[in-house]
Amino acid sequence: MGEVAIFLFKWILFLCVLSLFSSASTNESEDGDIIDCIDIYKQPAFDHLALRNHIIQMTPSHEATIDSKAVSRNSTMDEKPNMILTSQVWRKNGTCPDGTIPIRRILEKQLRNYRLSEEYGRKGPSFPNQIKKPNDHGDSNNINVNRSFAILLTYGLNYNAAKADVKVWKPYVEHDDEYSTSRIALKTGPYDDYDSIEAGCIADSSKTTGCFDLICPGFVQTSNVIAIGGVLRSIPVPGEIPWIMTLYIYRDPMSNNWWLQYQQGINIGYWPGDIFRGLSMTAETVQWGGEVYSSRIGHPGHTSTEMGSGELGSPDPRSGWTKRMRIRDNSMILKYPEWVSRYSDDYDCYATYLLWEYMDDPEFYFGGPGKGWQSWRCT
């Protein structure tokens, strides 16, 4: 089973090109990762054809943390619940110098299972949905052949930001070619041709599922304190205070770049608006929740890879969850969405639960063990 790491992902057609670059300094983490401090102007983002002459936006033109005071219901994003913020293992040895960014080194052995280097760092392809028997809970009767979702979503408006607290856990991953994520996402476009930007934490075998980091060009990093794909420190055990990461993806109204903010006020970098088609201005839908990728989904012999914490989604503190979920629409006010819907396409394996009645701030629980004794109907 691999480690849990921060990831980001952008869905758009381009090839991953492995860059050869020299580092200003190197940080060897106790978890085995090697973090190179690379000149900010020599990062892999500029291997993207659309970014060859790109001028780096060092800071957002709009201070997004101000938005935290404008929320719906009776709570604010400034209230800190009984949770612990995550940090990264490599930071024990300091940070990268100013003018550089940290990049997790990809070793030769991590590329050996790929036919082409261009495959490294890309999500596996999606295949058309297939029909499954409906249940009694109103869940989807369509399932992807190679991935499962258990999410809360909202759509119908023009969204330019999404935010949430995401519980960090270390789910079991059964096979080398599988992964499990807890994330937030903004998407635009039809099922078979869409743009998507996502950020969250991922557990995989670190062998064949991809990089989910800066090796694939497209994301411009500006922070010298966060390594995308770096392992998180001190994943909790059941019964202890939960560890969380606060993630905020928002579009800069001046540059149209989509910024990623981590915890409270750390702007990691951005996806340039120029590389998108549908997401060049706004998103059509926002999602919170989990995803499991496996070639064994949609076929007999379902994977035992867990989603969330491995517990079926329910209002149980042991379950995976996202809390303090927010969107920003054309009103430019960060708020809980007026309308949301649960969606689970593999409901016998990964479940969802929205706790909203009598709640000042609704909470979304999701996840499951895949094929296991808790989910005996998952086949």
The predicted-structure confidence for 285-295, as pLDDT tens digits, reads as follows 999 999 999 88
Q: Give the pLDDT of residue 17.
A: 29
Q: List the one residue out of 352, 9, 318 whose CA is nearest residue 169.
A: 318
Distance CA 162, CA 260 (A): 10
Residue 120: what residue type? Answer: Y
**pLDDT level of residue 375 (50, 70, 90 thresholds):** confident
**pLDDT level of residue 360 (50, 70, 90 thresholds):** confident
Query: Rounded to 5 degrees, what are φ and ψ at 350?
Result: -140, 120
* Total length of the chain: 379
Which residues touch 40 (CB under 8 Å, ≥6 apart)?
Answer: 56, 99, 100, 101, 221, 222
Q: Give the pLDDT of residue 33.
A: 76
The predicted-structure confidence for 233-244, as pLDDT tens digits, reads as follows 656 566 677 788
Distance CA 197, CA 291 (A): 14
Query: Rounded to 5 degrees, what are φ and ψ at 192?
Result: -95, 5
**pLDDT at residue 284 above 50?**
yes
- The token pair at 352 is 């969802």
Out of 9-13, 112-116, 268-272, the most confident range is 268-272
Q: Is the dihedral of CA 70, 71, 73, 76 positive or negative?
A: negative
**pLDDT at residue 15 above 50?**
no
Distance CA 277, CA 179 (A): 27
The predicted-structure confidence for 79-107, as pLDDT tens digits, reads as follows 555 666 666 777 677 788 999 999 888 76
**pLDDT at residue 65 above 60?**
no
**pLDDT level of residue 230 (50, 70, 90 thresholds):** confident
Q: List the one residue out of 363, 198, 364, 186 whose CA is nearest residue 285.
A: 186
- The token pair at 193 is 């041709």
Distance CA 98, CA 356 (A): 44
**pLDDT level of residue 3 (50, 70, 90 thresholds):** low
Distance CA 123, CA 30 (A): 28
Q: List the one residue out of 175, 188, 195, 225 whose CA is nearest residue 6.
A: 225
Helix %, strand %, coil % of the chain (to 5): 10, 35, 55
DSSP assignment of 28-95: E-TTS-EEEEEEGGGSGGGGSGGGTTPPP--S-SS-GGGGGG--STT--TT---S-EE--BGGGGG--
Least confident of 51-60, 74-83, 150-159, 251-260: 74-83
Determine the average pLDDT of the residues in 218-222. 91
Q: List the one residue out of 248, 252, 272, 251 whose CA is nearest residue 260.
A: 248
Out of 148-152, 224-228, 370-374, the most confident range is 148-152
**pLDDT level of residue 359 (50, 70, 90 thresholds):** confident
The predicted-structure confidence for 27-52, as pLDDT tens digits, reads as follows 666 667 788 899 999 998 888 888 88
Distance CA 153, CA 172 (A): 25
The predicted-structure confidence for 122-163, as pLDDT tens digits, reads as follows 555 444 444 444 444 444 445 566 889 999 999 989 999 999
pTM for the full predicted model: 0.83
**pLDDT at residue 209 above 50?**
no
Q: Give the pLDDT of residue 142.
A: 57
Q: Find out whether 103 and 36 touch, Cβ atoms under 8 Å.
A: yes
**pLDDT level of residue 328 (50, 70, 90 thresholds):** very high
Q: List the one residue out of 6, 74, 1 whose CA is nearest residue 233.
A: 6
Q: List the one residue out of 225, 339, 265, 241 whose CA is nearest residue 77.
A: 265
Q: Give the pLDDT of residue 12.
A: 30
Query: Rounded to 5 degrees, what are φ and ψ at 125?
Result: -70, 150
Mean pLDDT over each residue of the chain, to the nearest integer:
77
